[in-house]
Amino acid sequence: MATPLLLHPDRLFPAQESARSVARQLYDGIKNLPIISPHGHTDPAWFAGNAHFPNPHALFIAPDHYLVRMLYSQGIGLGELGIASKSGEPVAGPRQAWQVFARNYFLFRGTPTGLWLNHVFSEVFGLDKQLDESTSDLYYDTIAEALQSEAFRPRALFDNFNIEFLATTESPTDSLRHHQAILDSDWSGRVVTSYRPDPVVDPEHLDFKSGLHRFGEMTGEDACSWQGYLNAHRKRREDFIAVGATASDHGHPTAATANLSKAECIALFAKVQQPGVTAADAELFRAQMLTEMARMSLDDGMVMQIHPGSYRNHNTELFNNYGRDRGADLPCRVEYTRALKPLLDLFGNETELSIILFTLDESNYSRELAPLAGHYPCLRLGPAWWFHDSPEGMMRYREQTTETAGFYNTVGFNDDTRAFLSIPARHDVARRVDCAFLARLVVEHRLSEQEAHQVAADLTYNLPKRAYRLDTSERS
């Protein structure tokens, strides 16, 4: 007999009754606020074409590195999960891959992925039995049937999920045709891009040299000369802003910044285009480009997001066989105070500049990040990102940053997801955790209930809108 799938209404609330009661009241006040999703990796083609999602596998398994990495860690090959290798070896079909997922679903017990998936299965598809081997076909057939209905087209789901704003990330050499198609359509949903220049900023990126040539072709600039390269960035940023972008996004290995002279920049740019670029030169170039991007943000108003500290594609064999984004991007230790100083010496006191800092190294929350954001006008803290996009990670983030940076030097929550249907579930977890944290402050008489209600609304809705410069309307 299958186990019932039950979502407890008090999940993630405090065990102490007095605090739990306050958390319920706070949550009731914000649970239906619109979703602001300003930093994600969903595919804009979904919303441009508005085609049906083909099957449960394409919706849940194929795009979700959270899900894939857990199964891979237990010795389940990507081919068994229906993910094709570069060599074109046979892989499991969608239903067979789903059966492997269902048979191993117990692996997600106690994980944030399990929380999100159970939310989606129950709230979106109405399933009332746990996913396991015995219910695999029931799940697959129920979801597959729903996906062919009009209510489950991407735009209808976007509207039904009460998403007010969703940002994707594209590189400077992306055509932006999907975002233009969304703008040209009669749909009112707000799906915008973010400027992610890593492929043409990182000399160690596989596509760096070819990207520079494409960059130059798209902008009509000599992108292999320093001035032409900067001009190309400025032009493409204008193109991104024209289709709705409000932010840039920078995923460097470290938070290093630099302030080189023009002559030094010209010489360094020439060096990093040569074969055999050294790691030191690549790092210095990335550091200088963070400073250049900040300079451009002062000119065009884009919010700047910096999220360093991920060792990309750590599993070399997996990367060689299956490519990027297969769950092998791993956290590294990151230093911020000294790394950001060259940039902050130039722009740290600029009130018109907005830089949002993220981390995968949560030991930095109280030591460096909260003090930095608690001082410099241009800095704000992004929420727990990726590995810490979890109940415990979110709570640690609040506990370690609030005393020094307060709530109003942070920017609410972002979901950083590739799996579209998990967006409401992730935001629900974040809202519940924030309410649990605020409830504790209330019962400890560190915050009044009235203040807690306002902070809950700010964290959920007002702060992300303000941080990403979406508009000035706020909710209480």
**Residue pLDDT, tens place only, 76-89:** 999 999 999 999 88
Q: Looking at residue 474, what is its pLDDT?
A: 76
Q: What percentage of the chain exceeds 90 in pLDDT?
A: 92
Helix axes 391-405, 423-443, angle to 10 degrees: 50
Q: Looking at residue 1, what is its pLDDT?
A: 72
Between the two ends of the chain, the Cα-to-Cα distance in Å is: 46
Q: Looking at residue 472, what is its pLDDT?
A: 65
Domain boundary among 121, 152, 183: 152
Q: Looking at residue 66, what is its pLDDT?
A: 84
Cα torsion 435, 437, 440, 441 to 10°: value is: -100
Domain boundary among 105, 121, 152: 152
**pLDDT tens-digit readout, 377-412:** 999 999 877 788 899 999 999 999 999 999 999 999
Check whether residue 343 and residue 455 sit in a common domain: yes
Q: Is residue 375 scored above 70 in pLDDT? A: yes
Check whether residue 245 and residue 387 sit in a common domain: yes
User: What three-state secondary structure class fits 164?
Assistant: strand
**Average confidence (pLDDT) over 106-120:** 96
Check whether residue 92 and residue 221 sit in a common domain: no
In terms of residue numbers, what domain contains 184? Answer: 17-46+154-467
User: Are residues 272 and 203 in contact, defined by beta-carbon separation less than 8 angstroms?
Assistant: yes
Check whether residue 159 and residue 139 sit in a common domain: no
Check whether residue 169 and residue 200 sit in a common domain: yes
CATH number at residue 308: 3.20.20.140
Cα torsion 135, 138, 142, 144 to 10°: value is: 100
Check whether residue 146 and residue 278 sit in a common domain: no
Q: Is residue 324 scored above 90 in pLDDT? A: no
> Of the given ranges (234-238, 403-407, 415-419), which has the lowest mean pLDDT?
415-419
**Average confidence (pLDDT) over 25-45:** 95
**Average confidence (pLDDT) over 32-52:** 95
Check whether residue 346 and residue 274 sit in a common domain: yes
Q: Looking at residue 90, what is its pLDDT?
A: 87
Pairwise pLDDT comparison (385 vs 58), residue with the higher score: 58
Residue 229: band (very low, low, confident or very high) from pLDDT cuts 50, 70, 90: very high
Mean per-residue pLDDT over the chain, rounded: 96
Is residue 251 one of the residues assigned to a domain?
yes
Check whether residue 219 and residue 173 sit in a common domain: yes
Give the separation between CA 449 and CA 84, rounded to whole angstroms: 53
User: Are residues 364 and 337 in contact, defined by beta-carbon separation less than 8 angstroms?
Assistant: no
**Average confidence (pLDDT) over 428-434:** 98
Q: Is residue 309 scored above 80 in pLDDT? A: yes
E strands present in 184-320: 191-192, 247-250, 303-306, 310-311
Tally the domains of the chain: 2
Q: Looking at residue 389, what is its pLDDT?
A: 87
Check whether residue 307 and residue 434 sit in a common domain: yes
Check whether residue 113 and residue 189 sit in a common domain: no
Is residue 473 one of the residues assigned to a domain?
no
**pLDDT tens-digit readout, 188-208:** 999 999 999 999 999 999 899
Is residue 57 one of the residues assigned to a domain?
yes
**Average confidence (pLDDT) over 231-240:** 98
Is residue 91 one of the residues assigned to a domain?
yes
Check whether residue 160 and residue 211 sit in a common domain: yes
Task: Kindly tell me the sign of the dihedral angle through the C-alpha atoms of 86, 89, 90, 95.
Answer: negative
**Average confidence (pLDDT) over 140-159:** 98
Domain boundary among 90, 125, 152: 152
Is residue 476 one of the residues assigned to a domain?
no
Q: Looking at residue 379, what is its pLDDT?
A: 98
Is residue 72 one of the residues assigned to a domain?
yes
Is residue 432 one of the residues assigned to a domain?
yes
Check whether residue 39 and residue 65 sit in a common domain: no
Is residue 438 one of the residues assigned to a domain?
yes
